[in-house]
Amino acid sequence: MKLTDKVAVVTGAASGMGKAIAELYAAEGAKVVVADLRLESAQEVVTGIEGKGGQAIAVVANVAIEADIQHMIDTAVEQYGTVDILVNNAGIMDNFVPAGELTDELWDRVFAVNTTGPMRATRKVLPIFLEKKSGVIVNVASAGGLYGSRAGAAYTAAKHAVVGFTKNVGFQYATSGIRCNAIAPGGVATNIGTSMTAPNEFGMSRAMVGMQVNPRVGGPEEIAKVALFLASDDSSFVNGTVVTADAGWTAY
Ligand code: NAD
């Protein structure tokens, strides 16, 4: 087992990739905080983990709200004593809205969940990590965080910001035993993934997504394996970088 007795907080863990990551981490021996907006679904994930002999608790946390992030980290510490792994996975799409159609409201909402949430959660765990001189952060970014053509303007900008933040944190804390990496998934079969591949009426940005050759859509469990690598000592020399997992979608 690769994560024996590690305490992992996974945001957006009631569905999709977050659920798959929580389940795999628990199967590898971690105690997992399953954080999500949706308590009932998060609790179902916990019940599934417990049914396989794993340890997990569900926490309601909207990563766009600072007090919820504080509560999420406090709960992990109260329940399991510390945090060893933070997975900033919760995210929302922007419906492929191009820049000219953007509202401030959509921009702010996409940034609040996809970018400010990971920043605040990182800010909360860093003192814990610094004190024990160890800790791992895994940010679920996107192919949209590396390329300008996979989503709308807000999501693209928000995920690019996550990638930049990941590199900065990885570098800044490299000598403190802390690692911070990101995953850039391609199209993955989840609730969000459906909206990414759906036909659209917005022209350029949505149409371009469809035009580009996507070898295949991935499964959430394929991303979870990358997240396991990045959380475990198998990636001890990997820091401040982005691992693309997309079957070659962005390889050209
Ligand atoms: P999903 O919709 O299946 O799961 C997202 C989960 O996050 C849901 O359980 C939802 O309730 C939760 N969530 C949403 N807003 C939240 C908030 N404010 N606070 C807490 N939880 C919240 O989607 P997914 O595809 O598994 O997405 C996971 C991550 O992967 C996201 O960051 C997404 O941007 C990224 N991503 C997805 C794809 C894809 O094709 N599916 C590709 C690249 C990146």
Q: In this structure, how many other beta carbons lie within 10 angstroms of the beta carbon of residue 169? A: 24
Q: Each residue of 73-95: pLDDT tens digit?
A: 999 999 999 999 999 999 999 88
State the ipTM, two decimals.
Answer: 0.99
What is the band of 7 on the pLDDT scale with cuts at 50, 70, 90? very high
- Check if 252 is active-site: no
**Starting at the edge strand that comes first in sequence, how are the strands of the sheet with 31-36 ordered?**
55-60, 31-36, 7-11, 85-88, 135-140, 178-185, 242-245
Q: How far is the CA of 6 from the centre of ligand 1 (A)?
A: 23
All structural domains of the chain with their residue ranges: 7-243
Are the beta carbons of 17 and 224 closer than 8 angstroms? yes
Gap between the Cα atoms of 65 and 47, Å rounded: 26
Ligand 1 pocket test: which of 59, 150, 190 has the largest number of ligand atoms within 8 Å of its C-beta? 190
Q: Each residue of 21-37: pLDDT tens digit?
A: 999 999 999 999 999 99
pTM: 0.96
Q: How far is the CA of 131 from the centre of ligand 1 (A)?
A: 30
According to DSSP, the residues that pair with 138 across neighbouring strands are: 87, 181
Q: Each residue of 201-217: pLDDT tens digit?
A: 444 344 345 556 677 88
Are the beta carbons of 209 and 170 closer than 8 angstroms? no
Ligand 1 neighbour 42 (Cβ under 6 A)? no
Q: How far is the CA of 92 from the centre of ligand 1 (A)?
A: 6
Query: What's the fold here for domain 7-243?
Result: Rossmann fold (3.40.50)
Q: What is the mean pLDDT of residues 191-196?
A: 65
Q: Each residue of 32-79: pLDDT tens digit?
A: 999 999 999 999 999 999 999 999 999 999 999 999 999 999 999 999
